């Protein structure tokens, strides 16, 4: 907790450009992180179950109730999440204490082990197998059934899956997670909501709902079949991107997805530089190829498809990929099987009629300068940035994969496969109510209920008093070690 707070303060100071204070805060943040790792190492060597239970136990520190492993993940403490203690805890949760590796887990599945069939790993696998089926149904619907004759079978399957997935994503993750944690203060609830809304996969899910609902509205109000297909196509693309989440549990594919994510972030930032060069070159091209062209916004801007801005940026954009279009720049395509005219009234009245190019030697000079900068300098610069990100992820591959694996295991420890989640949530709710009624009729389970309620993820459990004693013991040992080392120096 101290490390995460100091790290947050360092980020705030860094925005104010106080570099000295930023370095001091980061130094102290790393010091507390090393202390936490020392405590985990010492405790894990002596009491493995106690250490796993301790990192998974919620406690109230400075008014914030949170478990150590959850705090570490939320604040990007990769080494803490990647510690053998945390990873062993995650394996126990993932396979529900039935195996240590997936091969042994599969054997237990074949043997019809109840724990293996109800484990988060099984929930994860069934969810994405059903999602793969929905992808096939959605693709078939988009290829053949987008019409006004009514709702077909594939479309019905798609809507049913979308509704069930929205129940799982929105109701379970946002409403239930925020409202049920009554022991958390308001700032903590808002922080959990912020973490959810800034997660890439969650944003994809919410974006998919918006796109599909928009497509349904377009379909209801009969805006046009082409518009329906465009929006449904965007929704299909988003679902295919969400399906990549299933590969995050596999180390090989998970690392590649992490690399792609970092490269996309780098590309989006770099695209602003490309955009400036593209617009600059496009305006220079157009002003020299079509002098005094006044028809920039046909029909007072209502005809979006025929805006001249697309013509301006398209030529320099495709030149980035090697489509030089030198014949077009020289005007050699005028009258060569193309419909162009030099009469102003004709191209202004007919959007299908293009204006003929008026060649000037300056056009080739502009092309030479633009291609030199864009294809030789900018493209090679982005390749160099990609190589840097690749090496960065490759050097920290094991740590990064373990860090992101935590989010998946925690999520699917309380998640059911879509679309059968609706039925399973009802059954699970009935079971929970029955258990609470039985426990309320007994007087000896107060301590047990208190202990379970303190867990971040349902897993290893020890008595709260035992956990406090273990933590105090090794915290004192760490401080004594630091004081001894400092006195020797």
pLDDT tens for 184-215 read: 556 666 777 777 788 888 899 999 999 999 99
- Element containing residue 119 per DSSP (H, E): none
Most confident of 2-11, 75-84, 166-175, 456-465: 75-84
φ and ψ at 419, to 5 degrees?
Answer: -100, 5
**pLDDT value at position 464?**
52
Most confident of 163-172, 233-242, 245-254: 233-242
Yes or no: say if 425 and 166 are a contact pair by the CB < 8 Å rule.
no
**pLDDT value at position 296?**
67
Give the gyration radius of the chain's Cα atoms.
30
C-alpha distances in angstroms, 77 versus 7, 36, 200, 394, 426?
10, 11, 19, 18, 37
Buried b vs exposed e over 358-376: b needs ≥16 C-beta within 10 Å?
eebeebeebbeebbeebee
**pLDDT value at position 9?**
72
What does pLDDT average to over the chain? 80
**pLDDT value at position 104?**
86
Yes or no: say if 164 and 423 are a contact pair by the CB < 8 Å rule.
no
Yes or no: say if 371 and 364 are a contact pair by the CB < 8 Å rule.
no
CA-CA distance, 320 to 326, in Å (whole number)? 14
With pLDDT > 70 as the criterion, what percentage of the chain qualifies? 80
Is 132 a residue whose pLDDT tops 70?
A: yes
User: Residue 224, SS3?
Assistant: coil
User: Residue 172, SS3?
Assistant: helix
Q: How is residue 304 written in tokens?
A: 């979006």
CA-CA distance, 386 to 380, in Å (whole number)? 10
> Nearest-CA neighbor of 165 among 194, 206, 129, 136?
206
Yes or no: say if 456 and 58 are a contact pair by the CB < 8 Å rule.
yes
- Decide which of 337 and 143 is more confident: 143
CA-CA distance, 427 to 425, in Å (whole number)? 5
What pLDDT band is residue 238 in, cutting at 50, 70 and 90?
very high
Q: Rounded to the nearest 10 degrees, how much is the dihedral formed by the CA atoms of 123, 129, 135, 141?
A: -110
What pLDDT band is residue 455 in, cutting at 50, 70 and 90?
low
User: Residue 303, SS3?
Assistant: coil
Yes or no: say if 380 and 372 are a contact pair by the CB < 8 Å rule.
no
Tokens 């190492």, residue? 41
CA-CA distance, 349 to 251, in Å (whole number)? 59
Is 333 a residue whose pLDDT tops 90?
A: no
345 contact partners, CB below 8 Å, separation of at least 6: none
168 DSSP 8-state letter: I
Q: How is residue 245 written in tokens?
A: 């989440």
**pLDDT value at position 96?**
86
CA 98 to chain centre: 30
Is 278 a residue whose pLDDT tops 80?
A: yes
CA-CA distance, 356 to 473, in Å (whole number)? 84
Is 174 a residue whose pLDDT tops 80?
A: no
Yes or no: say if 167 and 421 are a contact pair by the CB < 8 Å rule.
yes
pLDDT in tens, 338-378: 678 888 777 777 777 788 888 888 999 999 999 999 989 99
Task: Specify which residues 61 forms β-bridges with.
Answer: 64
φ and ψ at 65, to 5 degrees?
Answer: -100, 115
**pLDDT value at position 252?**
87
Per-residue pLDDT averaged across 384-408, rounded? 87
**pLDDT value at position 452?**
43
Yes or no: say if 73 and 81 are a contact pair by the CB < 8 Å rule.
yes
């Amino acid at each position: 907790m101290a490390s995460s707070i100091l790290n947050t303060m360092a980020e705030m100071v860094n925005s104010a450009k106080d570099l000295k204070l930023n370095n001091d805060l980061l130094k102290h943040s790393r010091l507390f992180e090393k202390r936490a790792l020392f405590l985990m190492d010492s405790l894990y060597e002596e009491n493995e179950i106690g250490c796993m239970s301790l990192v998974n136990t919620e406690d109230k520190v400075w008014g914030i109730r949170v478990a150590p492993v959850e705090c570490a993940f939320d604040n990007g403490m990769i080494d803490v999440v990647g510690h053998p203690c945390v990873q062993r805890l995650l394996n126990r949760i993932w396979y529900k204490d039935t195996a240590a590796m997936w091969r042994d887990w599969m054997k237990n599945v074949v043997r019809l082990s109840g724990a293996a069939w109800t484990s988060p790993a099984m929930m994860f696998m069934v969810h994405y197998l059903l999602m793969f089926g929905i992808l096939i149904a959605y693709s078939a619907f988009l290829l053949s059934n987008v019409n006004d004759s009514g709702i077909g079978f594939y479309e019905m399957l798609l809507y049913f899956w979308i509704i069930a997935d929205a129940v799982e994503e929105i109701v379970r993750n946002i409403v239930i997670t925020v409202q049920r944690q009554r022991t958390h203060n308001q700032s903590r609830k808002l922080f959990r909501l912020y973490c959810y809304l800034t997660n890439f996969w969650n944003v994809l899910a919410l974006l998919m709902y918006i796109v599909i609902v928009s497509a349904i509205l377009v379909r209801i109000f009969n805006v046009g079949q082409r518009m329906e297909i465009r929006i449904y196509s965007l929704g299909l693309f988003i679902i295919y991107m969400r399906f990549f989440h299933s590969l995050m549990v596999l180390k090989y594919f998970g690392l590649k997805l992490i690399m792609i994510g970092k490269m996309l972030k780098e590309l989006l930032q770099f695209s602003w530089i490309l955009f400036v060069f593209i617009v600059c070159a496009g305006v220079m091209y157009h002003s020299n190829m079509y002098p005094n062209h006044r028809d920039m916004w046909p029909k007072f801007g209502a005809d979006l498809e025929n805006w001249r801005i697309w013509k301006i940026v398209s030529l320099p954009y495709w030149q980035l990929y090697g489509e030089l279009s030198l014949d077009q720049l020289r005007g050699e395509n005028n009258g060569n099987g193309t419909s162009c005219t030099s009469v102003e009234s004709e191209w202004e009245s007919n959007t299908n009629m293009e204006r003929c190019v008026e060649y000037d030697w300056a056009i080739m000079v502009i092309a030479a300068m633009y291609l030199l900068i864009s294809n030789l300098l900018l493209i090679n610069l982005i390749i160099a940035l990609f190589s840097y990100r690749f090496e960065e992820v490759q050097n920290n591959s094991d740590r990064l994969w373990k860090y992101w694996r935590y989010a998946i295991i925690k999520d699917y420890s309380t998640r059911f496969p879509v679309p059968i989640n609706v039925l399973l949530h009802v059954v699970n709710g009935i079971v929970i109510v029955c258990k609470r009624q039985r426990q309320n009729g007994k007087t000896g389970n107060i301590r047990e209920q208190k202990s379970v309620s303190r867990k971040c993820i349902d897993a290893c459990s020890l008595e709260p008093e035992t956990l406090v004693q273990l933590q105090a013991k090794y915290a004192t040992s760490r401080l004594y070690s630091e004081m001894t080392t400092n006195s020797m120096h």
